[in-house]
Amino acid sequence: MKNAIRNVCAQLLSATGFTLAAGCFSLAAVPAAQAADPVKIGFLVKQAEEPWFQDEWRYAEQAAREKGFSLVKIGVANGEKMMAAIDNLAAQKAQGFVICAPDVKLGMAVERAAKRNNLKVMSVDDQLVDGSGKPIASIPHMGISAYEIGKQVGQGLIEEMKSRGWNVAEVGAMRMAFDQLPTARERTQGALDSLKAAGFPAANIVDAAQAKTDTESAFNAANIALTKQTKFKRWLVFGMNDEAVLGTVRAAEGRGLRSDAVIGIGIGGSKTALNEFAKPSPTGFYGTVLISPKRHGYETSVNMYKWIAENKAPAPLILTTGVLMTRRNQTDVRAEFGL
Ligand code: GLA
């Protein structure tokens, strides 16, 4: 319908000049969704069981209640489920969706499926890439400022190591890597760079690669790495999220390395981290960089709603920040974040 109006306007513009046509453009700008057309938005996440994504959903629901749209939450653990979910949204007459895809390389498939079904699409957390690995700029994205947040992790590790007076020669640093995901690679690269900038010896840095982004995969990868590395008595631990660090901390505990021998700093700050902080005595999970599930869940949904209902396109790229949170300051930091 809108296209038809635009075509008529274009013809009028060439035939009659600007004044008459100007009215047409305001006509063409009527909201895409009319009152009879209730707004429905999908929120698709790659790992529905992970607390971070549950928090995102919770805040998306808050947005739905406040703005009066319906929210369809779907876990999309693999490409097949993702494609089925997008088609299903269209069948339910949704007008758009926010997605954290199971694999960023599915970017072009996501964009095509959205176009085919006339759905607006935004990505969250993991930015979608095209066939050559370049971010797809036409899909608005909200993610974390991965490299900067990684640097905060590294600085936190160094500071805590210094305040404990550890002898650096005995300390290994474990990078729990998931390098196929750009945001994960940037996060651990940031941490690495700040360790190196602080003079931490490159030879003491050990890489372990997790097969998936959950606690169990990190646990398995850390076990293998720790078996090979017997010369370090103490460890700094970092990775892409809280689960990566928690899995590594658990593997270290299995070898008798406890909170006095391990400093782990994750990224996230939802239940995974809070459960650790709630334990009666500290564990090797020393801290996390708290990021905002509220911005990622609430704000993306509101932006999608405005795009559908008010024809206001979202900003192409928003990168959110984080703050180091430990057992000690958790209440204040969470309050600061409005959580
Ligand atoms: C990725 C990770 C999640 C979380 C988000 C934050 O999607 O897999 O655990 O860290 O980024 O943006």
Mean pLDDT, rounded, for 193-212: 98
Q: DSSP 3-state helix, strand, coil percentages of the chain (rounded to 5)?
A: 50, 20, 30
User: The dihedral of CA 238, 52, 247, 163: what is its sign?
Assistant: positive
Mutate to test the pocket of ligand 1, among 104, 123, 183 (most ligand atoms within 8 A of CB): 183
Nearest to 97 by CA among 82, 81, 115, 114: 114
pTM of the predicted protein model: 0.89
Tens digits of per-residue pLDDT, 89-111?
Answer: 999 999 999 999 999 999 999 99
* Residue 236: φ, ψ to 5°: -100, 140
Q: Which atom of ligand 1 is nearest to the CA of 144?
A: 12
What pLDDT is recorded for position 9?
37
**Whole-angstrom Cα distance, residue 60 to residue 300?**
8
Poorest-confidence range of 4-18, 118-132, 195-209?
Answer: 4-18
Cα 31 off chain centre by = 30
Alpha-carbon distance of 28 to 241, in angstroms, equals 45
Q: Nearest residue CA, atom 8 of ligand 1? A: 213
Q: How far is CA 102 from the centre of its chain?
A: 12
Q: Which residues line ligand 1 (CB under 6 A)?
A: 50, 52, 100, 125-126, 143-144, 183, 213, 241, 267-268, 291
Q: In Å, how far are 28, 241, 266, 293, 309 from 184, measured between CA atoms?
A: 42, 8, 12, 17, 34
Q: Ligand 1 centre and the CA of 149: distance in Å?
A: 12
Q: For ligand 1, atom 12, which residue shows the shortest CA distance?
A: 125
Give the mean pLDDT of the chain: 91
Ligand 1 pocket, mutate which of 46, 50, 54, 240 (most atoms under 8 A from CB): 240
Q: What are phi and psi of 325, to 5 degrees?
A: -125, 135
45: phi then psi, degrees, rounded to nearest 5: -125, 150
**What share of the chain in percent tops pLDDT 70?**
89
Biggest CA-to-CA distance, the chain: 83
- Ligand 1 centroid, distance to 70 Cα (angstroms): 24
Closest alpha carbon to 183 in 126, 142, 237:
126
φ, ψ of residue 185 in degrees (nearest 5): -65, -45
Instruction: Compute the distance from residue 126 Cα to the ligand 1 centre, in Å.
Output: 7
Ligand 1 centre to CA of 281 (Å) is 27
